[in-house]
């Protein structure tokens, strides 16, 4: 039988889970935010519906290609290094989204963001599985799963709300300080 003190979740672990979980949340949120912006993006970039959909398609393809690499990356690099890389990719992609004025540049930004999100999402689960007390793994995995499922559910609402009062790029302007703030526990 283990003692109560061994079953507590260390504060540093909670900070790490919150930081990586928040990064994953923002990555997934920005993916679904983009769908409500399609009409505005089509007008700004002079593209049709089939072309504008590449903004979400390329992002999802890159995330899907990056996630399977997480096991390799986890063995090869420290968790903190992977987190910092995911933060840098998220920030870089957001910055490019803010200043990009051609459709191919916006697609490049989504590729960069997709790599960051593809690293962050499994990283959160790896941290939970590897560092949590065994008796708390199920609860923390549930919290991690909640992060992954809530973001796409609220993304269109957030995107619609923000874009109704601000230009679409404001979503990424808002994302940058949030990413920086959540990265403090691990940075």
> Where residue 73 sits, what CATH number does that domain have?
1.20.1250.20
Whether residue 65 is contained in a domain is answered as: yes
Residue 133 placed within a domain:
yes
Any domain includes 53: yes
* pTM of the predicted protein model: 0.88
Kindly report, residue by residue over 29-42, the tens digit of the pLDDT: 888 899 999 999 99
| Residue from 55, 38, 47, 174 nearest 113 by CA | 55
127 domain residue, yes or no = yes
41, 169 Cβ separation under 8 angstroms: no
Q: Whose CA is closest to 159, among 55, 10, 57, 31?
A: 31
**Which residue range is the domain that position 116 belongs to?**
11-183
In a domain, 2, yes or no: no
Longest dimension (CA), the chain: 65
Which 3 state secondary structure label does DSSP give 127?
helix
Q: What is the pLDDT of residues 39-97, one digit of tens each?
A: 999 999 999 999 999 999 999 999 999 999 988 998 999 988 999 999 999 999 999 99
How many domains would you assign to the chain? 1
Q: Is residue 5 in a domain?
A: no
């Amino acid at each position: 039988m283990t003692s109560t003190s061994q079953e507590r979740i260390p504060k540093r672990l909670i900070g790490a889970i919150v930081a990586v979980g928040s990064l994953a949340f923002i990555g997934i949120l920005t993916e679904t935010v983009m769908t409500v912006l399609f009409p505005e993006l089509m007008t700004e970039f002079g593209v049709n519906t089939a072309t504008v959909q590449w903004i979400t398609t390329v992002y999802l393809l890159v995330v899907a290609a990056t996630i399977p690499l997480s096991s390799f990356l986890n063995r090869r690099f420290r968790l903190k290094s992977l987190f910092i890389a995911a933060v840098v990719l998220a920030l870089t992609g957001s910055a490019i989204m803010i200043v990009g004025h051609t459709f191919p540049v916006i697609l490049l930004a989504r590729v960069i963001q997709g790599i960051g999100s593809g690293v962050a999402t499994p990283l959160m689960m790896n941290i939970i599985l590897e560092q949590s007390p065994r008796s708390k793994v199920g609860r923390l995995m549930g919290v991690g799963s909640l992060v992954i499922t809530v973001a796409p559910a609220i993304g269109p609402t957030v995107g619609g709300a923000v874009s109704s009062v601000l230009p679409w790029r404001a979503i990424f302007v808002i994302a940058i300080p949030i990413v920086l703030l959540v990265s403090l526990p691990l940075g």
